[in-house]
Amino acid sequence: MPHSPTFTQRDASNPAFWDERFERQFMPWDKGGVPHAAQRYFSSITHHSNQACLIPGCGTGYEAAFLAQLGWDVAAIDFSPAAVAAAKAAHPACADRFVEADFFEFQPAEPLAFIYERAFLCALPLHLRAQLAARWAQLLPAKSLLLGFFFITEATSKSGPPFSISQAELDGLLAPHFDCLENNPVDDSIPVFAGNERWQIWQKRD
């Protein structure tokens, strides 16, 4: 993990926290591409690719660009203006997919087939986790999916971001509304997540 510069912003729930890091190009959570498991999965479901999907906390937007190329109606949002600017600059062909918005207030234009999770849950302060899980459940119709990558350790980390979560706590957040369909190790994690990342697919119940 790169050496951390000195930052003035310490509250990860404030967009300025992320602006400062994007502007100084300190992004140890950024893979710079699409993880293998996501590439395999999205490429296997292209027959559904005219549907809407959402990527909260999209950062530099590699997955959004990949999904747009496959034909998905993808909305990629971030509440950091610097993150959205970085995504638009990195992916000019689909710059219109990147929107500055707060996930807890954003309303999709169409019912969602899935929400893609990667380094969003682990970026949020711990006190927002229950609110996040409730919002996932609220936005996803029955049978639609919450899928992506989760930073899992035996015990929830108290310092971060990134903040890891235990599998037991994640189950407690999601089990009231979702069933877990897939839970697999990840073979190409970046150093900050290495050995503690899982690809999971959760389906919203009726």
pLDDT at position 180: 98
For residues 195 and 56, what is the distance between their CA atoms, to the nearest angstrom? 24
134 with 75: CB under 8 angstroms?
Answer: no
Which CA distances in Å does 145 have to 20, 44, 73, 122? 32, 15, 15, 19
100 with 79: CB under 8 angstroms?
Answer: yes
For residues 15 and 12, what is the distance between their CA atoms, to the nearest angstrom? 7
pLDDT at position 186: 97
Q: Across the chain, where does the E strand assignment appear?
A: 52-56, 73-78, 98-100, 112-118, 145-151, 178-185, 197-204
Which tokens in the block code for residue 77? 């949002």
pLDDT at position 1: 42
pLDDT, averaged per 10 consecutive residues of the chain (206 residues), comes to 60 71 66 89 88 94 96 95 93 97 96 96 94 98 98 88 95 98 96 94 96
Q: Which domains does the chain have, with CATH numbers?
A: 51-110 (3.40.50.150), 118-206 (3.40.50.150)
**pTM score, two decimals?**
0.89
CA-nearest of 153, 76, 157 to 124 is: 157
What are phi and psi for residue 42, nearest 5 degrees?
-65, -35
